[in-house]
């Protein structure tokens, strides 16, 4: 059990009193939260026992302080998507999304080896699983290699959180579907070609208590109202998850809250928003990044002020979670080498989107 910082010094004082009454009086000179090392260094050299006790208490207080601090230089890994048989890509809108909230983007290249991907993840502060058009599973029902790599990182992130390393994931559209598919690898978990939600903006029907959701409890009320009453979430998908699937499989029913649903153009309800019960993991079927950064005129992306405010909240919330993680590369030089700035931005002339292309 972790001690509260307010408990450490009283306990330390009691220990010192049992060692020597003379030196225990020095506790009165120790500030409540700083200056411990200065007092320790002033102890006579013939008092190693007391010095060790104080050193141990200092280390514990440092750990407690770290829990109250934030990482001002977070790095978020973004999964690449297959561009063709040899190359990968990341939509620039996802990079801008995390950068707009104060994070740096690092590509997680799905074609890399399991070992390289896991090594990279342990240096990151969060992960974003983006949308795309990659197949989720093979004809025999097994996960495709891309989905398997998503599952690999998902399991690693859970392991890190179990070890006390706070590591958030935000999964969007296909990324959300890949998480659901990984949690319950059955053919009817993610239904293919069952929804007519291509190029449409929707509202959400909230399904869970706002106060009990970590994300919704931090969302301003005017955004919650808009989310329910205005079409501010952009959707671009044929595949999706029926609400019944979350109840059907224990891993989903026991592992996730259903925060909200939407309805496609035919009135069919689908899962739009989930939140892990145990981990800082969120899944959304819609595209919050597009409200701010996608301007193709043929797309029905909402650009109202409230839709932009909602998207910025989503970015800010996710990056705020990543700032609770203190993983880092061995040096700033190594961190810079992994940043996406090394990859030139290209314009996809067909879709009129900016993309980062990763040669195979």
Q: Which residues are catalytic?
A: 173, 287
CA distance 233 to 243: 18
Rounded CA separation 3/42 (Å): 26
Q: Over the range 334-344, which residues count as b (16 or more CB within 10 Å of their CB) and which as e?
A: ebeebebeebe
Asked if residue 288 lies in contact with residue 315, where contact means CB atoms within 8 angstroms, the answer is yes
Question: In the numeric block, which tokens belong to residue 208?
Answer: 């869970």
The alpha carbon of 116 is separated from its chain's Cα centroid by a whole number of angstroms, namely: 20
Return the SS3 of 154: helix
Single out the residue of 215, 136, 209 nearest to residue 176, CA to CA: 136
Distance CA 195, CA 204 (A): 16
Q: Are 97 and 293 in contact (CB under 8 A)?
A: yes
Contact between 301 and 290 under an 8 Å Cβ cutoff? The reply is: yes
CA-to-CA separations, 154 to 89, 150, 157, 338, in angstroms, rounded: 20, 6, 5, 20
Measured between alpha carbons, how far is 282 from 274 in angstroms, rounded to an integer? 6
CB atoms within 10 A of CB 17: 13
Half-sphere exposure of 194 (CA within 13 A, CB side): 15
∠ CA 198-307-236, rounded to 5°: 10
Whether residue 66 contacts residue 117, with contact meaning beta carbons closer than 8 Å, is answered with no
Instruction: State the DSSP code for 190.
Output: S
């Amino acid at each position: 059990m972790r001690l509260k910082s307010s408990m450490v010094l009283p306990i330390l004082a009691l220990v010192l009193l049992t060692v020597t009454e003379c030196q225990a009086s020095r506790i009165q000179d120790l500030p409540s939260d700083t200056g411990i090392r200065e007092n320790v260094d002033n102890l006579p050299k013939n008092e190693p026992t007391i010095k060790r006790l104080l050193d141990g208490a200092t280390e514990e207080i440092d750990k407690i302080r770290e829990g109250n601090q934030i990482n001002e230089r977070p790095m978020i890994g973004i999964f690449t998507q297959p561009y063709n048989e040899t190359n990968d890509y990341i939509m620039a809108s996802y990079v801008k999304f995390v950068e707009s909230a104060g994070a740096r983007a690092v590509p997680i290249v799905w074609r890399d080896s399991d070992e390289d991907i896991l090594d990279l993840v342990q240096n990151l502060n969060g992960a974003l699983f983006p949308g795309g058009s990659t197949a989720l599973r093979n004809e025999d029902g097994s996960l495709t290699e891309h989905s398997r790599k998503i599952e690999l990182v998902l399991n690693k992130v859970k392991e890190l959180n179990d070890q006390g390393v706070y590591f958030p994931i935000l999964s969007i559209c296909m990324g959300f579907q890949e998480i659901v598919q990984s949690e319950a690898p059955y053919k009817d978990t993610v239904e293919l070609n069952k929804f007519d939600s291509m190029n449409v903006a929707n509202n959400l029907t909230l399904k869970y208590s706002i106060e009990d959701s970590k994300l919704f409890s931090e969302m301003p009320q005017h955004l919650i109202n808009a989310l329910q009453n205005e079409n501010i979430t952009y959707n671009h998908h044929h595949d999706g998850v029926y609400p019944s699937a979350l109840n059907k499989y224990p891993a989903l029913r026991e592992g996730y809250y259903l925060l909200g649903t939407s309805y496609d153009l035919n009135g069919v309800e689908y899962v739009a928003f989930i939140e892990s019960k145990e981990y800082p993991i969120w899944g959304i079927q819609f595209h919050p990044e597009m409200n701010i950064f996608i301007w193709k005129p043929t797309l029905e992306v909402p650009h109202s002020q409230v839709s932009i405010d909602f998207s910025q909240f989503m970015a800010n919330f996710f990056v705020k979670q990543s700032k609770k993680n203190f993983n880092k590369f061995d040096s700033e030089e190594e961190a810079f080498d992994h940043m996406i700035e090394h990859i030139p931005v290209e314009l996809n002339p067909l879709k009129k989107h900016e993309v980062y292309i990763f040669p195979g």
